[in-house]
Structure formats: structure tokens, C-alpha cells
Amino acid sequence: MKHFRHWKIFRNPNFLLESPGSSRKEVTDMPNLLTLLAISVSLAMDALAVSISTSVFLGDISKRQAFRIYFHFGLFQALYPVIGWLAGNTISAHLLGWNKIIAFVLLLGVGIKMIWDAVLEGEETQQKDPTRGILLMALSTSVSIDALAVGVSFSLLGMSIILPAIIIGIVTGIISYLGIQFGRLLGQGFGQKVSIAGGFVLIAIALKILLF
């Protein structure tokens, strides 16, 4: 049945089915492993920087907080290509153009919040945990939204998405974990004041996404 065509991707062991934007004759093999790893690493660079900044901000980050960061970053990075693939060519270039603005606004907001909390530390104010709730969702979305365009590209090229999405998610999770550990060392070595720098790093990433 036509309405269930997307569910075929979960039944084909070869992961080589037609995408929503292509016919069966146009199906091509997916990129080789090295290409997929290169794509995954490039997509994970923002997640790396945000992981470092968040870990620095928290200072003595707990194992549970660290898990929430690298798990959600990896999960979102894996889901967004699938969403883009399923949407296929129904997502226009105009709509995709908003991805930079969305990521910019989210990272800018979280960066400002981090700086605000760090400056007011010691006063009667409660620091919000960026590994929980809306802040975690904002960070996860902002570092993963570029993967939406990757999914659309795979769809238009007639490529499978399941295995690439899994690899992208795993690589992002691993890189985010490494970023957390590095940020932990920075936070412990330089104290809470360095968390202000972490907020400025997020703002710099936001500007980079918007302008380049």
C-alpha cells in the first residue's frame, strides 16, 4: 500500500530501498564507510564544541549529566537525517534555509543564559541545568539540525538512510563524550569563571552557523 512505503526501510536487510523522492530504478548504493565517517565527523563538530562548553559550564559534571548530553546529541543527530529522508523532496530549499536561523537562535539563547548564570553565581539565583528539559532539547536540536539537509540529500540521490543515520548518531555520541571529558578537565583546572568563556563559545558557534 502506498501509505506504508516508508515502513519498507525497516524490513529490507540490505537497506537499499527507494527514497521518497526517487523511483526504484534510481536507487543507488549508499556511500562507502570512509565517506560516511567523514560526513559523521563533520556533522559532529558543533556537537563537540557544545559538549565542551556545556561541560565547562557545569564544572564537576556528573556521569548522569554527561550521559544525557552525549546520548541526546547522538540520538538527535541520528533522527534528523531520517526525518529529512522521509520528507524527501517535499522540503523545499526555502524551508531548509531556515535551519541556520533556527540553530543560531537556539545556540545564542543558551549561550546568553550560560553567561548570565555564571555572572550571577554566588547571588540568590538558581542555575539551570543545561542537561535537562528545554535547554537540553535546544542544544540537541541546534547541533543536529544540519543533519536534516543530509537526509534530504540522501533521499534525492536515492540512497538508503538507516545505516548512515546509525553511524552518524554513534559517531556524534562518541565525539560528544570526548568533548565532555575535555570540558571537565578545563572546568576543574580553571574554575567556574571559565564557564563564561563557554557561553561565549556557544555564541561564536551560533554566529558561525548563521554567517558561513
Rounded mean pLDDT for each run of 10 residues along the chain, 212 residues in total: 44 42 48 88 92 87 95 97 83 65 90 82 62 93 89 85 95 97 81 74 88 81
pLDDT on residue 190: 67
Residue type for 174, please? I
pLDDT on residue 145: 86
pLDDT on residue 135: 92
pLDDT on residue 155: 85
H helical segments located in 44-161: 45-58, 63-87, 93-96, 98-119, 133-144, 146-156
Residue type for 103, please? A
Separation CA 61–CA 190 (nearest Å): 14
Q: How many CA atoms lie within 13 A of 105 on its CB side?
A: 4
pLDDT on residue 12: 43
pLDDT on residue 21: 47
Residue 19 in contact with residue 155, Cβ under 8 Å?
yes
In the numeric block, the cell 521518497 is attached to 20
